[in-house]
Amino acid sequence: MVRELPDRQTVTDTVRWLRDALLGSLRFLSETATKELAAQLEMATLVVLWLVGLRLRFPQSPPLIQTVAPVMERAVFTSSREGPKSLSYALHEPGYCAFYEECGKNPLLEGTETHIDPIVPCLNYTPAVPVTGQHYQELKKICPMLDKGEGNTFACCSLKQLSSLEKSLSMSKVLLVRCPSCADNFAHLHCTTTCNPNQSQVVKVTKIMNITQANDTKEAVVSYQTFIRKTFAEGSFQSCRNVRIPATVGGYAISTMCGRYGATLCTAQRWYDFQGDSSNGLAPLDIDFQLVDEGDNVELPEGVVPYNGRALRCNETTPSGGESCSCQDCLDSCPSVPPPPPLPAPFKILGVDGFLVISIILLCLLVLAFLLYLSVSCYAQSKKAKDEEKGKKKNKGKSKHNNDESHQVIHPSEVTCADKNSLVAQEFLSRQFRLWGTVMATYPLTVLLLSAIIVAIFSVGLKSIELTTDPVELWSAPNSRARQEKDFHDTYFDPFFRTNQLILTAPGKKGHIYNSLMFGAQNFSGILSKDLIIELLELQQRIQNIEFWSEDLNRTASLKDVCYAPLNPSNPSLTDCAVNSMPQYFQNSLDNINAKANMTELGVTQEVDWRDHLIYCLGSPMSYKDITALGMSCMADYGAPVFPFLAVGGYENEAYTSAEALILTFSLNNYLRDNPKFKVAMQWEKEFLNIVQEYQRDPATNFTFAYMAERSLEDEINRTTAEDIPIFMISYAVIFVYIAVALGEYTSWKRLLVDSKFLVGLGGILVVGCSVLASMGFYSWIGIPSSLVILQVVPFLVLAVGADNIFILVLEYQRDVRKPGETREEQIGRVLGYVAPSMLLCSLSESVCFFLGALSTMPAVKSFALYAALAVLMDFVLQITAFVALLSLDARRQDSNRCELLCCVKVSSEHPKKPNEGFLLPFMRKYYAPVLLHRYTRVIVMLVFIFMLCASIFLMMNVTVGLDQELAMPKGSYMLTYFQYLYKYFEVGVPVYFVTKRGFNFTTVEGMNAICSSVGCDQFSLTQKIQYATDYPDRSYMAIPANSWVDDFIDWLNPGSSCCRIYTSGPNEGEFCPASYNGPEKTKKCMRTPLDGVLRPTVEQFNSFLPHFLTNRPDLLCAKGGLGAYDIAVVRNNLTGEIIASKFMAYHTPLTNSQEFTAALEKARELAHNITLSMRNISGTSPDFEVFPYTITYAFYEQYLTIVPEGLFNIAMCLLPTFLVCCLLLGLDIRSGLLNLLTIIMIVVDTVGVMTLWNINYNAVALINLVTAVGISVEFVSHMTRSFALSTKSTRVKRAIEATANMGSAVFAGVAMTNLPGIIVLAFAKAQLIQIFFFRLNLVITLLGMAHGLIFLPVLLSYFGPGVNKAVLQQVQLATVKANHELEMESHMRHVYDNISFEENETNHEQHSNTTKTSSPRHSKVIENQKEEKLDSF
């Protein structure tokens, strides 16, 4: 009879019952028996199980064997006592554990550096144990998701395991606690694998090893698999992937927990793989996380049920009451923030550029208005001609001069008040200057001596001259917002650290593909080669070892004396200095770079080297240990991470190994200029530059690189100035030679040295130089600093103004004829009386113009205006004193026919009686003026200049505002190469600090919430608003959100981490205990876990623990320590504890030109203002509390926010006095003043238009030149206007011809031809700034001034100039009557004399005949002389 065999399930249940009974008995006996007995019982149990197995396998019962054998195979170990055991059974059923209790340290990690004790559990397949008492309380605290109530809760972990789990979780929670749901999900996962009562269903032990402690050998689990549904895994990962680490300025916590992949490439599987990799020094054993798709159970071991708990979303509250994560850590928590409004559309009219349309309309209106004026004028002239024709017929026999306006009889009633005022003003000025000139010419030596004494007194101040070279001091006003913010920052925080940097490339080096065991195929660029990294390390060490003798320290100084050492600022060593570079991933160790190790991954054994370590560190720069067999840290030797963008450049999409450049940066502390260490830092940088330049010249160098030091900009500007001084000297020499040659009279070769004006020209140059020296000395004396701009521009300006006056005075003297009975000194006084009012008009206009320009807020513009104003004024004073005296001495020499350089040598050839008009005056009188003022030429000129004006208005609206710092460098400067490399290879912009001032209470809950961005914080807090701005980098110019000491302080306090503890016993009871302490004294956490997960300290706790946070050095046990990141970011009142200043650092996007720097400043201020308004709404906040953005470049680029209105104001202030002075000196001649003003405005507008065409940006340097343009334009315009206004020719055209010929020739020779040669020489300067803003711009100003003054203005005056001054005509009439009367009296007396002495009359008959023949010419001459005397003042 055949017995029915039991089914498989029955056999399985039977074996399990037998096994549980035996193992339960074994556990009980092992706890109560001796070790020897326990070992015997263990062996007996195994034997029993083995015998059962053999019995069931007995061949006589094959069906039973086939049924039971697989079960027994899974219940028996095949092992060796010498190594790991492969588990051949794996029963997976609910309510059972796979391991329990701690067995000791993992034998596989012996000798390996780990960051935690690698304690592993004991293999123990037993039912889950009930937890009660303290065991239950700990489980509830650490793994609340497993809590089923006391008495109903079972777990597979002991108290020791819970303690180890808590320590392990605390290391990760310190990064994740900002987001409660993430921290809860993270704990959920590890609680499931460690303490889950159904542990055997989700865990499969894969390796065990024997561990012997105190002669007690146990089997420990060193590797296992855990099975998790992807739904839970992905949910947990998504809740944590956006959690940030504020101290890393926007870095993600996940980047430190995903190994080689970093935050960008991290996935749920990769995240879990890193957590289960014991090689990273953070996991005690290897865990193979198997993520199983929903419904996919085919490949699972029998009995395995993948864990599928519910993962909290980051925007959900936790079961314990913790609030949802903040927006910064969870995108789903973000409120609906509207995108920024679209950028304003370009100004258009009917789809066309609006400014172009306006310019065209203006052109049409002006042309039409001019043509209308021509039509009306033609009609009026034709009508007048007809009337005159009729009048001629009626008045035949009347003087032919009746219709000539200059010969019409002027009745006193016809003379207007304005005409009288003009005449009075001219006569007064002429009379005073005539007397003055006569005195100066009479006592030339005395005048020269007194002038020299006065100049010497003024120039004494030069001994205390202060030359400003700091760009911030030059272009940023002391009371400007940027300067005030900079001063605030530098007062409460250290000045912005000094950067010394190299950007290195290797263009000829070929890259390679590296097949990494861990990371797969990776593309390594040529720059990332071992030999180049070693070479960079050698260069870095050479620079680090710089030593030099410091006079300020009176000892040998080195890098450690001035370096920025964030983690040891008080007493740094060389290894504490912040040096960011590629070798820092290897702790600057050659051994680490050369390290190699064999590693097995997925059954493949391969050698790993520096490349594997580098790939890992570029993805996880904050790791203390890589996951390769090398096991090296990624942290720099000074204790901080080196972020990839600080080590490599020229990559795309974070493909760091394909980078084209290596970056080496030395950061130094910055000091105020009066601090002795400032000079030490400057000296170290000088040594740095010497080494780098020597290395660059070395032919063995394998790098092509660019470099800079913090001092480089200032050095290069100063070097350029020194190198270009000869260019300026040549420029002035050319001008001097021209003046000396052009002033001379050349009538014959014999009188060449007599009539030359070499010494007069030299004297004119000396007068200009003395006026500049006097001005500089005076302002240096009263403490107003000078600048290189003043040294370069003011002499040029004064020379242009002074040369014009010199030419006018000398040429007028040469063209004048000395009157009978007039001495040389009187003649010079009369000539000065004629030209000095014109000189006064120009000089006074320019001087007042510049004095008003000193109202500018820009220091460089203000000081330039002051220096220029006084220099121009001094130049005029010296011209009417010292130069007149020189002219008198030269005239005395010339009258004596003595040679100029050889005063003892006389020539026999006499000076011709006819005045020397030279070449230019006859040419302009005979050819230029008549052609220019031809009726058709005038129309063409007006139309052309109207077109130029309208075109320039359009171009002016498109001028580029700004000054790129490259332009301050000379061509060939190493800084130009550096800027090219910087813009090409650098992947991040400058850091920007959001600084808070006094008046905000950080200690209140409301105050903290208004700042922070973690759980419970205001969704529109300070840091959160900055985060929103980074979502639109193209608009906000913000790339990386701000770090936050408030967030990290709260996380540091969180009891979920081990950062903040307090001693509860021992001598330090009640005091702070750092996380690094692991001694016997008991401690407790600083704060308790709040029920809602929103931890906020009280005011007392805030003030008590903040100092400890700020001085706590971050490490693996407490990554949230504030030393280095925040110790200098928070300034507290030592007495009250009030926070009086703090800062939050973010990063701009890469900024490449001044327009982007300016826009970034503007947007940052908008953001800071928005934050300020929000924070002022917090109760207790001072109404004057403010948040402002700060970076070192803001002080320089702030000027471009206001430079357009600033420029308009300055130019308007210059134009106003030119109009007023012109009107006043011409006797309230408003029309002349307006025409003068209009022409100058057109010159300035056209200049700006040409700036657009010639790529000359509008900036402070250009503004200085435009102010100068107004001054030079006065020279081109005012002389001509005055000459026209005082002319008595019959028509405007004739008066314009006369003014163009007489004054235009002097202006052309004195202004245009004086400036042009000197300007052309500047084209050879090395400095781009000089080439662009001194050569190009001054050339444009001179050419446009000449065109408007000598072409447009005469035509304009011929159409719209003022009429003839009738008061002058009346004076001419009186002079003519007087001359006629005198002639009649002379003839009468001669007739009487003839009757008395007939004999004498006969004797002198011939003489009398000659006299009678010449009486008519003499009559004419007398009249002319009388007229000339009356018009001398004009």
Q: Express each pLDDT in 190-210 by its tens digit.
A: 999 999 999 999 999 999 999
Give CA–CA dist 815/1207, Å, rounded.
42
Query: Is residue 34 scored above 70 in pLDDT?
Result: no
Which residue shows structure tokens 């556990």?
27
Contact 828, 884 (CB under 8 A): yes
What letter represents residue 95's amino acid? G
Q: Is the dihedral of CA 131, 136, 142, 145 positive or negative?
A: positive
pLDDT by residue (tens digit) across 636-654? 999 888 989 899 999 988 8
Q: Supply 63's token pair.
A: 């069906």
For residue range 963-990, list pLDDT tens digits in order. 888 887 888 889 999 999 999 998 888 8
pLDDT confidence band for 470 (50 / 70 / 90):
confident
pLDDT for residue 405 is more than 70: no
Contacts of 260 by beta carbon, 8 Å cutoff, 6+ apart: 518, 519, 615, 616, 619, 620, 627
Query: Tens digit of pLDDT for each residue in 1239-1281?
Result: 999 999 999 999 999 989 998 888 888 888 887 888 788 888 8
pLDDT of res. 909: 65
**Distance between CA 946 and CA 965 in Å, rounded?**
36
Q: Which are the contacts of 1350, defined by CB distance < 8 A and separation ≥ 6?
A: 1276, 1280, 1300, 1304, 1307, 1308, 1312
- Give the pLDDT band (50/70/90) at residue 47: very low
Overall average pLDDT of the 59-83 stretch: 40
Is 50 exceeded by the pLDDT of residue 1205? yes
SS3 674: coil
Task: Summarize the confidence of residues 278-287 as an average pLDDT.
Answer: 84
Could you give the CA distance from residue 878 to residue 452 in angstroms, rounded to a whole number?
Answer: 10
Closest CA to 498 of 742, 301, 679, 312: 679
Q: How far apart are CA 48 and CA 62, in angstroms?
A: 21
- Is residue 1018 pLDDT above 70, yes or no? yes
Question: What's residue 424's pLDDT?
Answer: 76
Local structure of 910: helix, strand or coil:
coil
1038-1040 vs 1139-1148, strand pairing mode: antiparallel
Average confidence (pLDDT) over 214-233: 90
pLDDT at 1025 over 90: yes
> Which pairing describes strands 467-468 and 786-787: parallel, antiparallel, or unpaired?
parallel
Mean pLDDT across 380-389: 78
Parallel/antiparallel/unpaired status of strands 1187-1190 and 991-996: antiparallel
pLDDT at 280: 76
- Give me the pLDDT at residue 749, please: 67
What burial class does residue 1395 get, using C-beta atoms within 10 Å of its C-beta: 0-12 exposed, 13-18 middle, 19+ buried? exposed
Q: How far apart are CA 151 and CA 654, in angstroms?
A: 53
pLDDT tens for each residue of 1068-1092 = 888 999 888 888 888 888 998 887 7
- DSSP class of residue 556 equals E
Residue 613 in contact with residue 630, Cβ under 8 Å?
yes
What confidence score (pLDDT) does residue 335 get? 85
Of 694 and 40, the one with more pLDDT: 694
895-937: pLDDT as tens digits: 888 887 666 777 766 666 666 666 778 888 889 999 999 989 9
Question: Do residues 1186 and 1028 make contact, with C-beta atoms less than 8 angstroms apart?
Answer: no
Is the confidence at residue 41, as pLDDT, over 80? no
For 1375-1416, write each residue's pLDDT tens digit: 777 767 767 776 666 665 555 544 444 444 444 444 444 444
Taking only the tens place, the pLDDT of each residue in 79-108 is 333 344 444 345 788 999 999 999 988 888
**Radius of gyration of the chain from Cα atoms?**
48
pLDDT above 90 covers a percentage of the chain that reads 39
Ramachandran assignment for 724, one of left (phi > 0), alpha (psi -120 to 50 degrees), beta (any other): alpha
What integer pLDDT is reported at residue 401 of this predicted model?
45
Q: Point out the least confidently predicted range of 7-11, 288-292, 897-901.
A: 7-11
Report whether 1124 contacts 1113 (CB < 8 A): yes
CA nearest neighbour of 654 among 1032, 269, 1160, 251: 251
> Of the ranges 92-106, 391-405, 709-723, which one carries the lowest mean pLDDT score?
391-405
Question: Of the ranges 307-316, 409-418, 738-747, which one carries the lowest mean pLDDT score?
Answer: 409-418
Say what percent of the chain tops pLDDT 70: 85
Mean pLDDT rounded to a whole number for the chain? 83
Q: For 74-88, 246-260, 716-730, which range has the lowest pLDDT when averaged over its residues?
A: 74-88
Instruction: Report the amino acid identity of residue 30.
Output: S
Comparing 1331 with 385, the larger pLDDT belongs to 1331
Split at pLDDT 50, 70, 90, the class of 949 is very high
Strands 991-996 and 555-558: unpaired
What sign has the CA pseudo-torsion 703, 634, 1046, 180?
Answer: positive
User: Identity (one letter) of the amino acid at 807?
Assistant: F
The owner of tokens 């009369």 is 830
Q: What confidence score (pLDDT) does residue 658 get? A: 93
| Structure confidence at residue 754 (pLDDT) | 75
Summarize the confidence of residues 343-353 as an average pLDDT.
Answer: 88
Position 532 confidence tier, pLDDT thresholds 50, 70, 90:
very high
pTM of the model: 0.77
Q: Please tell me the total number of residues recorded for the chain in this structure.
A: 1434
286 has pLDDT over 50: yes
- For the stretch 813-827, what's the b/e string if a residue is b when 16 or more beta carbons lie within 10 angstroms of its beta carbon? bbbeebeeeeeebbb
- Alpha-carbon distances, residue 203 vs 136, 188, 796 (angstroms): 23, 15, 88
Segment 386-397 mean pLDDT:
64
Give the model confidence (pLDDT) of 264-277 as tens digits: 788 999 899 888 88
State how far the Cα of 472 lies from the Cα of 264, in Å rounded to an integer.
40
* Model confidence pLDDT, tens digit, residues 808-828: 888 888 878 888 888 989 999
Q: Which residues pair with 1146 in a beta bridge?
A: 992
pLDDT in tens, 610-635: 999 999 898 888 888 888 888 899 99
Judge contact between 1099 and 1106, C-beta under 8 A. no
Q: Angle 1199-1225/859-878 helices, nearest 10 degrees?
A: 20
- Mean pLDDT for 1319-1333 is 82
Would the pLDDT of 807 be above 90?
Answer: no
Mean pLDDT of 1152-1165: 93
d(CA 588, CA 163): 38
- Contact (CB, 8 A) for 837 and 1273: no
Q: Which two tokens stand for residue 980?
A: 């090219």
Residue range 495-512: mean pLDDT, rounded: 91
Q: What is the mean pLDDT of residues 542-571?
A: 93
Instruction: Of 1425, 1374, 1424, 1414, give the one whose Cα is nearest residue 1390.
Output: 1414
Closest listed residue to residue 1042, CA positions, set 1014, 1022, 1015: 1022
- Nearest 5°: the CA angle 788, 789, 792 is 85
Give residue 834's identity as a one-letter amino acid code: Y
The rounded distance, in Å, linking the Cα atoms of 960 and 1067 is 70
Residue 584's alpha-carbon distances to 132, 564, 664, 1260, in angstroms, are 51, 16, 10, 43
DSSP per-residue letters across 115-156: SS--EEEEE---BPEE--HHHHHHHHHH-GGG---TTT-EES
CA distance 799 to 771: 10
